[in-house]
Copies of this chain bind each other. A is one copy, B any other.
Amino acid sequence: MTETKKTTIVLFSGDYDKAMAAYIIANGAAAYDHEVTIFHTFWGLNALRKEEMISVKKGFMEKIFGKMMPRGADKMGLSKMNFAGFGPKMIKDIMKKHNAMPLPQLIEMAQEQNIKLVACTMTMDLLGLQQEELLDDIEYAGVAAYLADAQDGNVNLFI
């Protein structure tokens, strides 16, 4: 029986390196013909933010969160050795030297491979993020949809 394998990743973290790990595993699994879902929740939502400033109506605290959080994958920090933003620059320079794909390209590749990118609507509410601020062609869902994917999954990870 050759049923399709499933990889389902919760991306909770807003760190550049952790998001890279998530997207490298996801793209690898898609290349192996897995059905792949990345469910972005809490700080992981920042990986889906558009780089440009989007003007939307927000409450006061939602505005503060919006300003403090990185706008898009390229602005995210490292989980270790961030050195006030110098660490990510170092990593990106080394990645360029080794022809490794930077995070924004890994996300593009995921979309081309039809990986299902989901934004958690409950935490979007909490962090005051609106659909206009996030990448196009992603899905919106809650924990029930995540569980429906995960419970039949072969590789389930929380990153």
Residues of A within 8 A of B (CB): 5, 7, 10, 12-14, 17-18, 21, 24-25, 28-29, 31-32, 34, 41-43, 59, 61-62, 64-65, 68-69, 79-81, 90-91, 93-95, 97-98, 100, 122, 125-126, 128, 143-144, 146-147, 150-159
Contact = CB atoms under 8 A, between A and B. Distances in A.
Copies of this chain, tallied across the complex: 3
Nearest to A95: B126
A128 B94 contact: yes
19 contacts: A12-B159, A13-B79, A17-B42, A17-B43, A21-B158, A24-B143, A25-B143, A28-B143, A28-B144, A29-B151, A32-B144, A32-B147, A43-B80, A59-B97, A65-B90, A65-B94, A91-B126, A100-B122, A157-B157
Contacts of A28: 143-144, 146-147
B146 A150 contact: no
B90 A64 contact: yes
A10 to B, nearest CB: 7
Given A25-B143, A143-B28, A12 B18 contact: yes
B80 A61 contact: no
B79 A147 contact: no
